[in-house]
């Protein structure tokens, strides 16, 4: 019975590490948005769709992955 607390702590640590690993993925577009906007000539609407693309892709992959 002593393995359960250790297993819970390991799962908690895994979730935290995965969350830290996803942070750059979710915040990666914002610092480069003005450069991407200038280089591609996207409209403001296009840039907002481009910025939301990573969230949509992650949501779709989560839907089909489970």
pLDDT at 2 > cutoff 90? no
Say what the pLDDT of residue 15 is: 86
DSSP string covering 9-54, please?
HHHHHHHHHHHHHHHHHHHSSGGGHHHHHHHH---HHHHHHHHHHH
Residue, of 24 and 7, whose pLDDT is higher: 7
Position 57 confidence tier, pLDDT thresholds 50, 70, 90 = confident
pLDDT at 47 > cutoff 70? yes
Mean pLDDT, rounded, for 53-65: 81
pTM: 0.53
Say what the pLDDT of residue 59 is: 82
């Amino acid at each position: 019975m002593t393995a359960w607390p250790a297993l819970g702590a390991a799962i908690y640590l895994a979730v935290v590490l995965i969350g830290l690993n996803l942070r750059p993925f979710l915040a990666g577009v914002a610092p480069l948005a003005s450069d991407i906007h200038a280089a591609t000539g996207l409209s403001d609407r296009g840039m907002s769709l481009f910025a939301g693309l990573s969230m949509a892709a992650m949501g779709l992959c989560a839907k089909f992955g489970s």
